[in-house]
Amino acid sequence: MSGEPSLPFSPPQIDRVTFFKRDEITTDLICCEVVVSGQIHFFHEECAEWRALLNSFCDLTGFDDNWFAKVQCPPFEACETVAFVRR
């Protein structure tokens, strides 16, 4: 058993992955919504599952590895980007 928290889904179940930022007054919080069977699972960079979540995307064919560059700038704007859609 690893020390990494588990996710409530596996990569083959993922239908869509969207990244965006939330303005937290003095900083931005990078967030991710993962759609699985019509349900939206919300994560952010400070949650315990964040690393496991990012690692799970390695198994998604067509996942946009440049999502961070698209979301990062400009600061204090949502910069929503869809990194994966199952076809």
Q: Is residue 54 part of a domain?
A: yes
> What is the number of structural domains in the chain?
1
Return the SS3 of 76. Answer: coil
Neighbouring CB atoms inside 10 A of 16's CB total 14
pLDDT in the model for residue 42: 98
Range of the domain at 72: 11-85
- The pTM assigned to this predicted structure is 0.90
By the 8 A CB rule, do 14 and 85 touch?
Answer: no
Residue at 76 is within a domain: yes
Distance between CA atoms of residues 50 and 30, nearest Å: 10
pLDDT, tens digit, 9 for 90 and up, residues 52-64? 999 999 999 999 9
Q: Are 60 and 13 in contact (CB under 8 A)?
A: no
Amino acid at 53: L
